[in-house]
Amino acid sequence: MMSLTRRFLPANSRKRSYAVLVLLIAYALLLVLPAFAQQDVGDTEYRPFPKIGSRNAAWIAAQLHLLFGSFILGVPMFAVVIEFVGMRTKDLRYDRMAQEFIKLCMAAFSTTALLGGVLVFVLMWCYPKVMNKMTGIFGPTMIFYVFLFFGETFTLYLYSYAWDKMQNRKGWHLFLGVLLNIFGTAIMFVSNSWLTYQTSPSGIDEETGNFIGTTWEAVNNFTWMPINIHRFIGNIAFGGSIVAAYAAFRFLVATSREDREHYDWMGYTGNFIALCGLIPLPFAGYWLGREIYQFNQTMGINMMGSLFSWLFIIQAVMIGVLFIGANYYLWSGMGRIEGAEKYARYRPYMAAIIAVCVAIWMTPRSLIATPQEVAAMGGRYHPLVGLFGLMTAKNTVVNLIILTTFLSFLFYRRLGKTPIVGWAKIGNIAIAIIFGFAVIAIVSIGVAGFRVVTDFRINTLTPIQVFIALFVMISVTIIDLIMYRRAMVSGTINWGKMTDRSQYVLILLAITFTSLMGLMGYARSGLRENWHIFGVMPDTSPDSFTPRLSDAVNIIAVIMVIFFALVGFIFWIGLLGEKKEGNRSTH
Amino acid sequence: MKTLIRIICLVLMIVSFIAYIARASAFPIASANLLPWSLWFFLFAFANILLWQRVMKLLSFSLLVIWFYAFTASIVPETSTAKLDLSSIERTPDAFVEAGEAIFKGKGKCLTCHTLDPSAPKGRCPDLTGIGTRAATRKPGMTAKEYFIESAYEPEKFLVPGYGKIMPPVWKAPISLSNLEIETVIAFLQSQGGEVDLTPFEPPVDTGSAAVGVEVLPPILTGDPDRGKNVFVNGAKCVACHNVAGLEKPIDQTLDEGVEVVAAPELTDIAALNSLRYIEESILKPNAEIVSGYGSASVRVGGAAVQGTLVSQDSEQMVLRIKAPDGSETERTILFSELEPEPIEELVNLKEKGYFWVQATPADATAPISGELVEEDEESITLKVGDETQTISKSDVKVQVTVTTFDDDEPIVGELVSETDDEVILNVDGAERTIDQFDVDTMESSRAFGKRLAVTSPMPSNFPQLLSVADMNDLLAFLTTLTGEAAGETAAAAEGAEAAEPVPAE
């Protein structure tokens, strides 16, 4: 391994990587330590964390670790795909962009490990008994985690530092990338088992409350796989959005035309990746919600109909911002392509559709109202607005938003190209008919949803709506690809010709993604209320309650500030390194 | 100069952001309502976006977005599950009612399902307006406070007609109220039209057990709903009695001999109103919980047994729907005072058996004591006699014996004095009478007499024997899909995106 490292790494990188490696080994040892220290806890249940309290300390450390972790797990996924595209198309730009993504990942990797170490320290110090209990159940997985962590570290270092050296062995390099993703995903799955066990424990003896199951039973608990899938997709979306924000930042501070062109393209790609992750994310969230409800009905009602009900309205606001922002960015991008006027006239209509749909999505089921207002409305639910609060209306508008976003992308894709196939007109008519029928069908099903039994709506109508949307996206993409395969280039893409405003939108999207993750992390963890392990190990500390939404969002805001400050610092360090290398090569 | 203004604006923006997040008190020159920190921050952030370029502009913009989400989430209604410090609470009605109201609307999250507004549309659980007076009439033989205690600790024991088994025991996770917190909530509910009684009570269940909070369910429902539907219609023939919207009863329904088609609860929305555990229990142990209006009751009135479906009951009377041999149905109101006492052989689990009135003679008494059965434990029973309560030891009551002999047609009734292998000695009207065991034809002993209302489920209890494990899984999988239109809110909650019932702000 050492000879391999020596062979591929430049001398300065080697020094840096050794230092980081020592740090990572220290973290790994730290992580596994609790498994060997179970007897030393004694009767100490809690130790207070100075000033900010134990819960806030653990919250901040965990959320920051999670955000960085999401980034370093999400980025390699699409970096490998982009590298593969570069290899197939022999377009070096893709290869360079994938390498740049991995450089960002490298910069964030050691910070992730460092924050993981901080989190373990905080948990060991503040919650010794909880950690004792958890390590007693999950000890073997923690040792497995350490092995995976080493695997992740070595493959990431090899994958990154050997990039240039392995240009002639792309197949092997891609294999390293795939291996890196396997390690990364496995790490996430293992650590997800710990936190999901706290929410939905399994293998418990009902009489004594003791854990009597196997480690696998504890791992394979009720919410484990839904969280795994949700986070897997979420990491891609989050990674894409952070990369896009980084590109936006570099675009805004760029002084040369080349830089602006490059980072404009990078921002576009990052946003495209984020959108690809964002679209299936609601379906994964839906599955997770159902599983929580199945595990414990009261927990499900608390989530959607009680304690966290307004949180999901805030979630709708954020997702609305994500879709509006992503569409706005695409529409702004039309300005950099010649001949965009043809499609620009549709933008106000698409904007109106998305705005109305988001407004419906954000409508609560019932509104807080005085008795007089209730009387004026003619009931607890407003006769018209109340209908928008129902799930059938929300499902309908979500599908319409997705289709409108897809249409935006379709227009964007077509810009600067003129199809030369003879059936182009018929193809366009076919696409218009598919869209038209799909919208009519989705809306009709949505209206019918008000009149059928819920069971039928959930199990039949809603999936039909989803399949219609998917059918449109797949069939139209196929028609469009064939139609524009040998299209005539009628206008060039002027990369770099983007407004600053559009770059701010990319930053807005990244902050919104991050805030959304923080908010949903609060919901997932808060569902346990006053239990460390739901129903098994009560929280008897002064923090044994779920904080109010307004308190939680303030903590999340603090986390956001720290996260973006750290990200900014890491990127700035990377920028300094680039300048130094640039100066050296100039001299 | 311009740089100085920029720096001042930047510093003020950061300060106002920190002040907002830290919930600092108002700016010195104005009240918090007039010029809150949120407004200051917004103004300075906006100014910074205009004044700065590049990095600082980006920083200001980023802070503004972070603040926007924090601010938006802080202005919506919210509830708190924070614990009230009850360690020094005064044991006065006012203090308990006040604390109870805070817990009712906060940590207890009772308003998620209940309402306190008679004009509100029907919620998941009953409206509690005036429950302080109504509670005493909910269950015969139960005071308002006893009813509240049972509802909090064992809500499944009594379901208000028209509502499903949805309320969780509030001492269990995730609500997890302490006994003292439950006491305050009960005080608050009593104050809804009734009198607050702060007499301490013992919880009817062991709330200290480690594992009682967790509801362990099978990890995954492995059954197939389609096959389960077939079991429902053709296998177990549940559809013969239960109605499910969209499922037609087969015309050529053939039932096993002895199985009668009876009125049974509508199951269209069973999964929306009840937990999986309840549905499973209803199949395996149909008598464990009987839906109001569907229980089969058997009582003795006027020397004859009367059997029918219990339609309703209050503290004084019950209404039975009785089916005549010709199939016609009539409703009959029976006063509890009309019921005839039955001999009770063993004084064990009287409440579970449905006894609500008991007559027994303590060993040191000459006359029997009778009254409402208030409480029962392993060693004694407590009766409400007039305005007082009397506790009788179960092992210290006179045993009434009825003996028939081969010689006499008339049975001999008396108190048991002693019994050996050779003879039985009874005290009959003050005089001892010895009966040779050789002459005894039958001998029935009773330690007390009681009136009871025994309600059983008409549903066959042999499904566990009839159904295979696979069929059972399939049937359960099918039943969990029945969420029904009426239960739209509950089912929609499972879909993961609808905020069904926002809780009003405190």
Cβ contact, residue pair B496, A290, below 8 Å: yes
Collect all residues of chain B within an 8 Å Cβ-Cβ radius of residue A307: 79, 81, 109, 112, 503
Q: How confident is the model at residue B218 (pLDDT cuts 50, 70, 90)?
A: very low
- Identify which of A202, A304, A381 has the shortest CB distance to residue B493: A304
The predicted pLDDT at position A182 comes to 96
Q: Which residue of B has its CA nearest to A564?
A: B62
Smallest CA–CA distance, residue A545 to chain B, in Å, is 5
Collect all residues of chain A within an 8 Å Cβ-Cβ radius of residue B219: 202, 220-222
pLDDT digits (tens, 9 = 90+) for A268-287: 999 989 988 887 887 788 78
Cβ contact, residue pair B246, A556, below 8 Å: no
Smallest CA–CA distance, residue A585 to chain B, in Å, is 27
Neighbours of A115 (CB within 10 A): 24
pLDDT, average across residues B261-269: 76
Q: How confident is the model at residue B80 (pLDDT cuts 50, 70, 90)?
A: low
Chain A to chain B Cβ contacts (< 8 Å):
282
Residue B343 in this model has a pLDDT that exceeds 90 = no
The predicted pLDDT at position B48 comes to 92
- Structure-token pair, residue A19: 């230092």
Cβ contact, residue pair B493, A293, below 8 Å: yes
Collect all residues of chain B within an 8 Å Cβ-Cβ radius of residue A560: 66
Cβ contact, residue pair A365, B23, below 8 Å: no
Q: Which residue of A has its CA nearest to B503?
A: A306
pLDDT digits (tens, 9 = 90+) for B405-425: 776 767 788 888 877 777 888
| Neighbouring-strand partners of residue A1 | none
Q: Report the mean per-residue pLDDT for chain B.
A: 77
pLDDT digits (tens, 9 = 90+) for A470-495: 899 999 999 999 998 888 887 778 88
Alpha-carbon dihedral angle through residues A122, A126, A130, A134, given to the nearest 10 degrees: 20
pLDDT, average across residues B86-103: 86
- Identify which of A288, A297, A535 has the shortest CB distance to residue B213: A535
* CA-atom Rg of chain A in angstroms: 26
Higher pLDDT pick, A468 / B442: A468
| Full pLDDT tens readout for chain A, 587 residues | 444 444 444 455 555 556 666 666 666 666 555 555 444 455 678 888 888 889 999 999 999 999 999 999 999 998 999 999 889 888 888 898 899 889 888 888 889 999 999 999 999 999 999 999 899 899 899 999 999 999 999 999 999 999 988 888 889 999 999 999 999 999 999 999 999 999 999 888 766 777 888 899 899 998 999 999 999 999 999 999 999 999 999 899 888 898 899 899 999 999 989 988 887 887 788 788 878 877 887 787 777 767 787 888 888 889 899 999 999 998 888 888 877 777 888 889 999 999 999 999 888 765 555 556 656 665 556 767 777 877 788 889 989 999 999 999 898 888 888 888 888 899 999 999 999 999 999 999 999 888 776 667 777 888 899 899 989 999 999 999 999 888 888 777 888 888 999 999 999 999 999 999 999 999 988 888 888 998 888 888 888 888 888 889 999 999 999 999 998 888 787 777 666 666 655 44
Cβ contact, residue pair A454, B72, below 8 Å: no
Residue B446 in this model has a pLDDT that exceeds 80 = yes
- Identify which of A221, A309, A398 has the shortest CB distance to residue B500: A309
Report the alpha-carbon distance of residue B70 to residue B59 in Å, rounded: 17
DSSP string, B441-481: EEEEEESEEEEE-EEE-SS-S-HHHHS-HHHHHHHHHHHTT
Collect all residues of chain A within an 8 Å Cβ-Cβ radius of residue B498: 304, 312, 365, 389-391, 394
- Structural contact between residues B223 and B477, judged by C-beta atoms closer than 8 angstroms: yes
The predicted pLDDT at position B381 comes to 87
pLDDT digits (tens, 9 = 90+) for B267-318: 877 776 777 777 877 887 777 777 767 778 878 787 777 888 887 777 677 8
The predicted pLDDT at position B265 comes to 80
Q: Which residue of B has its CA nearest to A506?
A: B62
The predicted pLDDT at position A394 comes to 87
Collect all residues of chain A within an 8 Å Cβ-Cβ radius of residue B119: 371, 374
Smallest CA–CA distance, residue A449 to chain B, in Å, is 10
Q: How confident is the model at residue B189 (pLDDT cuts 50, 70, 90)?
A: very high
Provide the residue type at B493 as one letter.
Answer: A
Phi, psi of A292 (to 5 degrees): -60, -45
The predicted pLDDT at position B220 comes to 43
Q: Which of B498, B501, B503, B506 to mutate to test the interface with A (most CBs of A within 10 A)?
A: B498
Report the alpha-carbon distance of residue A499 to residue A485 in Å, rounded: 30
Collect all residues of chain A within an 8 Å Cβ-Cβ radius of residue B244: none
Q: In what order do the strands lie in the sheet with B304-313?
A: B329-335, B317-323, B304-313, B296-301, B454-456
Residue B225 in this model has a pLDDT that exceeds 50 = yes
Collect all residues of chain A within an 8 Å Cβ-Cβ radius of residue B266: none
Provide the residue type at A554 as one letter.
Answer: N
Q: Which residue of B has its CA nearest to A386?
A: B500
Q: Which residue of A has its CA nearest to B275?
A: A297
pLDDT digits (tens, 9 = 90+) for B12-41: 999 999 988 888 777 666 666 667 888 889
Residue B495 in this model has a pLDDT that exceeds 50 = no
End-to-end CA distance of chain B: 49
Q: Which residue of A has its CA nearest to B217?
A: A295
Residue whose token pair is 């108190």: B415
The predicted pLDDT at position B504 comes to 27
Question: Rounded to the nearest 5 degrees, what angle is found at the Cα of B491, between the Cα atoms of B489 and B493?
Answer: 70
- Identify which of A202, A508, A553 has the shortest CB distance to residue B73: A553
Can you say how many angstroms the Cα of residue A258 is from the centroid of all Cα atoms in its chain? 30
Higher pLDDT pick, A126 / B263: A126
- Identify which of A207, A253, A453 has the shortest CB distance to residue B268: A453
Backbone CA torsion sign across A59, A65, A68, A70: negative
Phi, psi of B64 (to 5 degrees): -65, -40
- Structure-token pair, residue B392: 């009788």
Cβ contact, residue pair B216, A512, below 8 Å: no
Provide the residue type at A468 as one letter.
Answer: I
The predicted pLDDT at position A9 comes to 47
Residue B183 in this model has a pLDDT that exceeds 80 = yes
- Identify which of B54, B80, B485 has the shortest CB distance to residue A548: B80
pLDDT, average across residues B357-367: 83
Provide the residue type at B83 as one letter.
Answer: K
Residue B70 in this model has a pLDDT that exceeds 80 = yes
Q: What is the ipTM of this complex?
A: 0.84
Residue B431 in this model has a pLDDT that exceeds 90 = no
Q: Which of B57, B59, B76, B178 to mutate to test the interface with A (most CBs of A within 10 A)?
A: B76
Report the alpha-carbon distance of residue A290 to residue B185 in Å, rounded: 31
Report the alpha-carbon distance of residue A373 to residue B279 in Å, rounded: 39
3-state secondary structure A562-580: HHHHHHHHHHHHHHHHHHH
Residue whose token pair is 């053939």: B254
Q: How confident is the model at residue B506 (pLDDT cuts 50, 70, 90)?
A: very low
Residue whose token pair is 């009230």: B84
Cβ contact, residue pair B211, A220, below 8 Å: no
- Identify which of B215, B245, B498 has the shortest CB distance to residue A453: B245
Backbone CA torsion sign across B177, B181, B187, B189: negative
Q: Which residue of B has its CA nearest to A204?
A: B216
Collect all residues of chain A within an 8 Å Cβ-Cβ radius of residue B272: 454
pLDDT digits (tens, 9 = 90+) for B124-161: 788 888 888 888 887 777 888 889 998 898 888 787 77
| Furthest C-alpha separation in chain B | 126
Residue A486, classified by CB atoms within 10 Å of its CB into exposed (0-12), middle (13-18) or buried (19+), is exposed
